[in-house]
Structure 1
């Protein structure tokens, strides 16, 4: 291959580590390059993918109730981690502005393309909004934000917390807690346990869009690490376990094969039907939400749910 982008050092390291072990894996955080972000926007529009519609309903119909639950008496910041295209968040921002809330919106995303689209989308509807976008990893930006004593409402929407293993989710929430001041609040989208068939179809859709989303991880390896992966020699599989509330997704090698990365100077070998684990998506019960909030040092103020009780935007306070 003759055209590659400059390699992402962390990505390169994680690919070597993830594809060299006995149980191969690739981190779901690498789904969201510019192309991956575009594909995920397609996923959010699928009728089978209920989380987006459920959360849109909550933020469209209950944002005024959310505002009433906030304990801020002065100007505050709304800090959103992994903001995407902001279609759902716009519902909340519109309601807050209509109720004359004094805030600055601080969206954070690792994709500059996604942030550019977000800013255009938000300002087209809300031209007077105060907005300070930040591009980068929110683990790093959180340290910067912690230096300000302006009260903050943190948004972590879309059920993204479910993508972390239990110990990682708790670690992330403790980092949020550490970077927050007393009285700061966190509004977090959390997918709830429900009929297993509803969940299974949402994560293994008949259109092949979720498959493309996963295959994009291999495209990134080809493009950024100058590899020669035959994309059509991998399939996608996803499974929901209703006993623990976990969806696990995999790429499947369709034959015994290998590929080489020039950037990494490494050849990776796969057996036929060997798996690459790509994503966890955890579904919570209300008891689990209360327990994890308490363990991370938060108190649950209120669970805002859609009419089907498929999803909640859970409001916590430090």
Structure 2
């Protein structure tokens, strides 16, 4: 009788344990050629002067090594005051939310890992409470996963054997269903804290659809940590100010055009990039950043499949979408998704000389069926 063979994953864990080379172990959930075909198709959209035709959808803004580096540079730019304010407020907000996660040992699933700085804050506290926890960052960009995972894991000495980066577009319902099933097999009935930080919810065409897609895989014992940008004003002046925030730094301009720069041969010039703010459905501020052919001549854009698209005068390509949410919008979308607020932290932006209507909110949410003792939901929203 022979001994049972050692599983390859266990052997790999042993092989890498004492190796200081920068290895990354990743679970790839999608065919990258399919993603390239999707991007190419989106860039063949119809003519539009409003950014509703050709587009680079949210995940593709960070997809590939060029956009990943550009995003990292933008987040480290001291002139990108919105990002700086977000980083400073997150620690205060998390301290208010954290006691609700201390009572039970959670696993940690980070949707949209970013630079990993916020994940490091969360992981440091959660690991002290549950030494057997898993950390599972999820992102469409494998390059972003590698960069963003190093910050929380290597910085804390978190065991690599308990880290599983997953390359997956979590905005696709079928992908999230498969992820939920895999996680249930991995952790059993143990609770999971899912996080969607950095105002990522605001980057998608339908915030309600994305939130619903995530909510459908939550079990009663799970929780969702949601961070969004907020506003107390809903007029065109505020919308223009929201758009103006993103024009203050050269590094952000480099990031927002990077997906177009690395996937096409289109001419990229500052004068062709337009930052547009508008009031959306009377409960949010919507910012669209578009490339527009504001010349009198048609332009030709080469695509990744070696075909070309003609861009007539005033045609646009939507590069980036973001929002600032009102309290009413947050109440509406969380209610429609069956989510209940357990804790809510808010702070206003303090970097402007004049009073600003803008701020950041961190919400800890529970799905339907969760046991939440002594909860007054309306009091949570009034904080």
TM range (shorter): 0.7 to 0.9
| Count of residues paired in the alignment | 304
Instruction: Quote how far apart the aligned CAs of 1:218 are.
Output: 2.2
- The answer on 1:43 being equivalent to 2:84 is no
Give the aligned CA root-mean-square deviation in angstroms: 2.9
Distance 1:307 1:17, change over 3 A: closer
- The answer on 1:213 being equivalent to 2:255 is yes
Equivalent residue, structure 1, for 2:123: 93
Instruction: Quote how far apart the aligned CAs of 1:78 are.
Output: 0.8
Equivalent residue, structure 1, for 2:361: 312
Task: Please identify, of 90-99 and 33-42, the stretch whose mean Cα deviation from structure 2 is larger.
Answer: 90-99
Using the alignment, how far apart are the partners of 2:167 and 2:86 within structure 1? 24
Unaligned runs of 5+ in 1: 1-5, 223-227
Distance 1:133 1:16, change over 3 A: closer
8 Å contact kept, 1:240–1:247? yes
Equivalent residue, structure 1, for 2:275: 238
SS at match of 1:310: strand
Using the alignment, how far apart are the partners of 1:210 and 1:262 within structure 2? 24
Using the alignment, how far apart are the partners of 2:320 and 2:303 within structure 1? 26
Using the alignment, how far apart are the partners of 1:93 and 1:164 within structure 2? 26
Equivalent residue, structure 2, for 1:225: none
- The answer on 1:53 being equivalent to 2:105 is no
Distance 1:58 1:78, change over 3 A: farther
**Structure 1 stretches of at least 4 aligned residues deviating more than 6 Å after TM superposition:** none
- The answer on 1:188 being equivalent to 2:226 is yes
Distance 1:270 1:307, change over 3 A: closer
Using the alignment, how far apart are the partners of 1:83 and 1:263 within structure 2? 26
Unaligned runs of 5+ in 2: 1-30, 350-357, 368-383
Which structure is larger by alpha-carbon Rg, 1 or 2? 2
Instruction: Quote how far apart the aligned CAs of 1:280 are.
Output: 1.9
Task: Please identify, of 19-28 and 46-55, the stretch whose mean Cα deviation from structure 2 is larger.
Answer: 46-55
8 Å contact kept, 1:55–1:313? no
8 Å contact kept, 1:214–1:236? no
8 Å contact kept, 1:191–1:311? yes
Equivalent residue, structure 2, for 1:162: 202
| 1:76 pairs with one of 106, 112, 130 | 106
- The answer on 1:133 being equivalent to 2:182 is no
Equivalent residue, structure 2, for 1:104: 134
Distance 1:220 1:96, change over 3 A: same
Using the alignment, how far apart are the partners of 1:263 and 1:290 within structure 2? 41
